[in-house]
Chains A and B, each alone.
Chain A
Amino acid sequence: MIIERTILSVHQQQWLSERAVHLIASPQPLGVVESGETTLLKHVSAGHKKHDYVTGSAMPFIM
Chain B
Amino acid sequence: MSKEFVNPDAKQKAINAKKHALILIQGAGQARAGVWSKQVAISENFELGTMLPQLDWAVKLNDYAVLVMNPNQNISEETGKRVPLNETMSNHATHIWKNYVVDSGFQEIFIIAFSAGGNCLTSIMKQNPDTFYN
Which residues of chain A are near B40, meaning CB under 8 Å? 52-53, 56
CB of B118 within 8 A of CB of A3, answer: yes
Of A2, A8, A9, A55, the residue contacting B36 (CB under 8 A) is A55
A57 touches B48 (CB 8 A): yes
Within 8 Å CB of B39, what residues of A? Answer: 52
Chain A binding surface, main DSSP class: helix
A56–B36 contact, CB under 8 A?
A: yes
Considering the chains assembled together, what is the distance between the CA atoms of A40 and B121 in angstroms? 15
Name the prevailing secondary structure of the B interface residues.
helix
Contact between B133 and A7, CB atoms less than 8 A apart:
no
Q: Chain B: interface residue count, which band?
A: 20 to 34
Q: Complex Cα distance A2/B48, Å?
A: 22
User: In the docked arrangement, what's the CA distance between A4 and B129, Å?
Assistant: 15
In the complex the two chains form, what is the Cα distance from A56 to B122 in whole Å?
Answer: 22
Verify B48–A12 contact, CB threshold 8 A: no
Task: Tell whether, in the assembled complex, residue A55 and residue B112 are in contact, meaning their CB atoms are under 8 Å apart.
Answer: yes
Stretch from B7-15, B49-57, B69-77, B91-99 forming part of the interface with A: B49-57
In the complex the two chains form, is B113's CB within 8 Å of A53's CB?
no
Q: How far is the CA of A59 from the CA of B36 in the complex (A)?
A: 12
Selected from A4, A15, A56, the residue in CB contact (under 8 A) with B133 is A15
Assess the A52–B37 pair: CB atoms within 8 A: yes
Q: 7 tightest A-B contacts by CB?
A: A1-B118, A56-B48, A52-B37, A55-B36, A55-B114, A63-B57, A52-B40
